[in-house]
Amino acid sequence: MKVILAAGGSGGHIFPSVALARELTGRGVKDIYFVASKRRLDKSILRDAGNKCFFLSENPMPYELNLFNAAVFAFKLFADAVVSFFIIAAIRPDVVVGFGGYSSGAVVRCAKIFNLPVIIHEQNLVPGRANKLLSKVVDKIAVSFPESSDHFPISPERIVHTGNPIRVELLAKDKIEALKYLDLSPERKTVLVMGGSQGSTFLNTTVSQAAGLIKEKKGDKVQFVHLTGKKDFEKIKQYYEEKKIPAKVYSFLDRIDKAYSVCDIAISRSGAAAIFELAYYAKPMFLVPYPGKKNNQRYNAIYFSRKGAAVYKEEGDLASGSIAEEVLDILDDPASLDKMCKRSGLLSNPQAGEKLADEVIKLSGKK
């Protein structure tokens, strides 16, 4: 059995594909190929996957089409389609799995020209543009949220709710060991701050200032694990040190499971990969979606908020003072904290990788 996994452009697209690859490998599938973009992030995530990788251009579909943007997009898309044609012709896969994003479009469309079985996976509640367009031609659509089926104008029989695959085997649950690993105090409440795979300057600045206000009110009773991304690392690390706030600041943390294990609440963007991994640990969330009218993170945050697992706020509604106040309201109310933990855990779907692998293997038999 040969499988092509087309995912790239963001960690939210790539992490589920890596989780699926591990599940398929565990079932004896040896020929797994990744197709991603040439972004440094894509190459970094896939570097340790151990599979053959192909890389297409960085070519996101422009939101504002003018003559120049359209011409550049069309040229790159044509070039990627040619490369995808030769990839598929050389590998002759039994099934192709697309995970959305601009890297999957050319490969998935080309696979259907070859009349190959194709399944796409949608991570977010509201599907992205690539998956919306591809949904009309693929054989099966797997979704992370049951309600996502309402956003695809196709017959319900072609949609299956698998959940969002997470890297379960890499997500150890051991708070005591994690506290030792990160050199944190077991006597303090812990706040995890993360702004997505690239980091977020807004969250880095605003939340670090909120940490200063929390220290003024609570002393050293609250500690922080702050993942900044490379751009703001030195500045944020220096701020925590100058204010003498108990914190561990990282540009990137390989063992993200350690941070998940120790935190009592997470302040985060609301990408699907992050929120479903946090739900696996039954962690309350303070979700701030990436800004922009056409950003799908917003709907993820609203959904988790309505389910009682998260507080949802837009950037424009936030200041350091309001973050500090709301976080302390949750941490200082054990009943509220426990309720959010339970609601968060109910949204977890650790069998998502297994369910998606079942669908992929089932579909491969239709080649």
pLDDT, one tens digit per residue, over 118-148 is 999 999 999 988 899 899 999 999 999 999 9
Do residue 227 and residue 151 come from a single domain? no
Do residue 45 and residue 142 come from a single domain? yes
Do residue 274 and residue 210 come from a single domain? yes
Do residue 197 and residue 256 come from a single domain? yes
Do residue 136 and residue 69 come from a single domain? yes
How far is residue 109's CA from residue 104's CA, in Å, rounded to a whole number?
A: 8
Average pLDDT of the residues in 15-39: 94
* Sign of the dihedral defined by the CA atoms of residues 329, 333, 335, 338, in that order: positive
State which residues form the domain around 47. 2-166+350-364
Do residue 86 and residue 176 come from a single domain? no
How far is residue 161's CA from residue 198's CA, in Å, rounded to a whole number?
A: 29
Decide: pTM greater than 0.85.
yes
How far is residue 173's CA from residue 238's CA, in Å, rounded to a whole number?
A: 30
Do residue 188 and residue 325 come from a single domain? yes
Do residue 193 and residue 162 come from a single domain? no
pLDDT, one tens digit per residue, over 255-300 is 999 999 999 999 999 999 999 999 999 999 999 999 876 678 999 9
CATH number at residue 94: 3.40.50.2000
Report, in angstroms and rounded to the nearest whole number, the Rg of the chain calculated over CA atoms.
21
Do residue 104 and residue 187 come from a single domain? no
- What confidence score (pLDDT) does residue 24 get? 96
Do residue 138 and residue 193 come from a single domain? no
Average pLDDT of the residues in 174-198: 94
Helices first, then strands: H and E counts in the chain:
14, 13
Give the model's confidence band at 20: pLDDT under 50 very low, under 70 low, under 90 confident, else very high.
very high
Q: How far apart are the first and last CA of the chain?
A: 11
Structure tokens at 127: 């599907």
Do residue 224 and residue 310 come from a single domain? yes
Quickly list DSSP for 146-207: GGGGGGS-S-GGGEEE------GGG----HHHHHHHHT--TTSEEEEEE--TT--HHHHHHH
Do residue 230 and residue 285 come from a single domain? yes
